Amino acid sequence: WMGMPLGDVGGGMGGSCGEVVPSMAFLTYLAHVTRAKNSSPVMCLSWTPGGRRLLTGNQEGEFTLWDGTNFSFELIMSAHDKSFRCMAWSHNQNYLLTSDSGGNIKYWSPPLLLYRVLIAMMVKQFKH
Protein backbone atom coordinates (compact mmCIF):
# COMPACT_ATOMS: atom_id res chain seq x y z
CA TRP A 1 0.00 0.00 0.00
CA MET A 2 1.37 3.39 -0.94
CA GLY A 3 0.93 6.24 1.49
CA MET A 4 1.57 9.96 1.47
CA PRO A 5 4.67 11.36 3.19
CA LEU A 6 4.10 13.33 6.36
CA GLY A 7 3.90 17.03 5.64
CA ASP A 8 2.14 16.48 2.29
CA VAL A 9 -1.32 16.10 3.74
CA GLY A 10 -2.85 19.13 2.02
CA GLY A 11 -2.09 18.52 -1.65
CA GLY A 12 -1.42 15.61 -3.95
CA MET A 13 1.91 13.89 -4.12
CA GLY A 14 3.69 16.17 -6.53
CA GLY A 15 1.51 15.36 -9.55
CA SER A 16 -1.56 17.05 -10.92
CA CYS A 17 -5.17 15.86 -10.47
CA GLY A 18 -4.31 13.60 -7.54
CA GLU A 19 -1.85 11.50 -9.56
CA VAL A 20 0.61 9.45 -7.49
CA VAL A 21 4.28 10.19 -8.11
CA PRO A 22 6.28 7.07 -7.12
CA SER A 23 9.28 9.06 -5.89
CA MET A 24 7.01 10.82 -3.41
CA ALA A 25 5.34 7.66 -2.11
CA PHE A 26 6.54 5.15 0.45
CA LEU A 27 5.69 1.63 1.56
CA THR A 28 3.54 1.21 4.65
CA TYR A 29 3.03 -2.57 4.58
CA LEU A 30 5.63 -5.33 4.32
CA ALA A 31 4.21 -8.04 2.08
CA HIS A 32 6.85 -10.77 2.25
CA VAL A 33 10.46 -11.53 3.13
CA THR A 34 12.30 -14.40 1.46
CA ARG A 35 15.82 -15.62 0.74
CA ALA A 36 17.32 -17.39 -2.23
CA LYS A 37 19.52 -20.45 -1.89
CA ASN A 38 22.53 -18.22 -2.40
CA SER A 39 22.80 -15.69 0.41
CA SER A 40 24.73 -13.10 -1.57
CA PRO A 41 23.51 -9.49 -1.19
CA VAL A 42 21.13 -8.21 -3.88
CA MET A 43 22.65 -5.25 -5.73
CA CYS A 44 19.77 -4.42 -8.12
CA LEU A 45 16.31 -5.59 -9.08
CA SER A 46 13.62 -5.09 -11.71
CA TRP A 47 10.15 -6.40 -12.44
CA THR A 48 9.85 -8.13 -15.80
CA PRO A 49 7.82 -6.16 -18.38
CA GLY A 50 4.68 -8.24 -17.70
CA GLY A 51 4.97 -7.49 -13.96
CA ARG A 52 4.62 -11.13 -12.89
CA ARG A 53 8.25 -11.90 -12.09
CA LEU A 54 10.98 -10.12 -10.21
CA LEU A 55 14.58 -10.32 -11.41
CA THR A 56 17.45 -9.65 -8.99
CA GLY A 57 21.19 -9.32 -9.58
CA ASN A 58 23.51 -10.18 -6.72
CA GLN A 59 27.05 -9.47 -5.58
CA GLU A 60 28.30 -12.72 -7.12
CA GLY A 61 27.06 -11.72 -10.61
CA GLU A 62 24.08 -14.09 -10.61
CA PHE A 63 20.50 -13.52 -11.76
CA THR A 64 17.67 -14.82 -9.59
CA LEU A 65 14.21 -14.94 -11.17
CA TRP A 66 11.35 -14.86 -8.65
CA ASP A 67 7.66 -15.64 -9.06
CA GLY A 68 5.95 -12.36 -8.12
CA THR A 69 2.85 -13.95 -6.59
CA ASN A 70 4.36 -16.34 -4.04
CA PHE A 71 7.99 -15.07 -4.10
CA SER A 72 9.53 -18.48 -4.72
CA PHE A 73 12.59 -18.49 -6.92
CA GLU A 74 12.33 -20.01 -10.37
CA LEU A 75 15.86 -19.68 -11.72
CA ILE A 76 19.38 -18.86 -10.59
CA MET A 77 22.00 -18.37 -13.30
CA SER A 78 25.46 -16.85 -13.66
CA ALA A 79 25.32 -13.62 -15.64
CA HIS A 80 28.46 -11.59 -14.86
CA ASP A 81 31.95 -12.41 -13.59
CA LYS A 82 31.77 -9.48 -11.17
CA SER A 83 29.13 -7.92 -8.95
CA PHE A 84 25.98 -6.49 -10.54
CA ARG A 85 25.72 -2.71 -10.50
CA CYS A 86 22.41 -2.04 -12.26
CA MET A 87 19.79 -3.41 -14.62
CA ALA A 88 17.13 -1.72 -16.74
CA TRP A 89 14.75 -2.69 -19.53
CA SER A 90 15.06 -0.98 -22.92
CA HIS A 91 12.32 1.51 -23.81
CA ASN A 92 10.56 -1.04 -26.03
CA GLN A 93 11.06 -3.71 -23.32
CA ASN A 94 12.69 -6.09 -25.80
CA TYR A 95 16.02 -6.22 -23.97
CA LEU A 96 17.33 -6.16 -20.42
CA LEU A 97 20.61 -4.28 -20.01
CA THR A 98 22.87 -5.13 -17.08
CA SER A 99 26.19 -3.78 -15.89
CA ASP A 100 28.82 -5.05 -13.48
CA SER A 101 31.54 -3.59 -11.27
CA GLY A 102 34.11 -4.23 -14.01
CA GLY A 103 32.28 -1.80 -16.32
CA ASN A 104 30.91 -4.48 -18.64
CA ILE A 105 27.42 -4.12 -20.12
CA LYS A 106 25.34 -7.06 -21.34
CA TYR A 107 22.13 -7.12 -23.40
CA TRP A 108 19.66 -9.95 -22.65
CA SER A 109 16.55 -11.00 -24.54
CA PRO A 110 13.40 -11.55 -22.40
CA PRO A 111 13.90 -15.31 -21.86
CA LEU A 112 17.30 -14.29 -20.36
CA LEU A 113 19.37 -15.35 -23.33
CA LEU A 114 22.57 -13.37 -23.74
CA TYR A 115 22.30 -11.20 -26.84
CA ARG A 116 25.36 -8.93 -26.80
CA VAL A 117 28.32 -7.99 -24.57
CA LEU A 118 30.09 -4.64 -24.41
CA ILE A 119 33.46 -5.09 -22.70
CA ALA A 120 34.81 -2.28 -20.56
CA MET A 121 37.75 -0.33 -21.94
CA MET A 122 40.42 1.19 -19.79
CA VAL A 123 40.79 4.93 -20.23
CA LYS A 124 44.16 6.42 -19.42
CA GLN A 125 44.22 9.76 -17.70
CA PHE A 126 47.00 12.04 -18.81
CA LYS A 127 48.62 14.61 -16.54
CA HIS A 128 48.95 18.05 -18.03
Long-range contacts of 114-121 (CB under 8 A, 24+ apart): none
Each residue of 51-61: pLDDT tens digit?
899 999 999 99
Q: Would you say residue 5 has pLDDT above 50? A: no
Residue 59 is predicted with a pLDDT of 94
* pTM exceeds cut of 0.85: no
pLDDT > 90 fraction of the chain, expressed in percent and rounded: 41
Q: Would you say residue 3 has pLDDT above 80? A: no
Sign of CA dihedral 90, 65, 79, 102: positive
Residue 116 is predicted with a pLDDT of 87
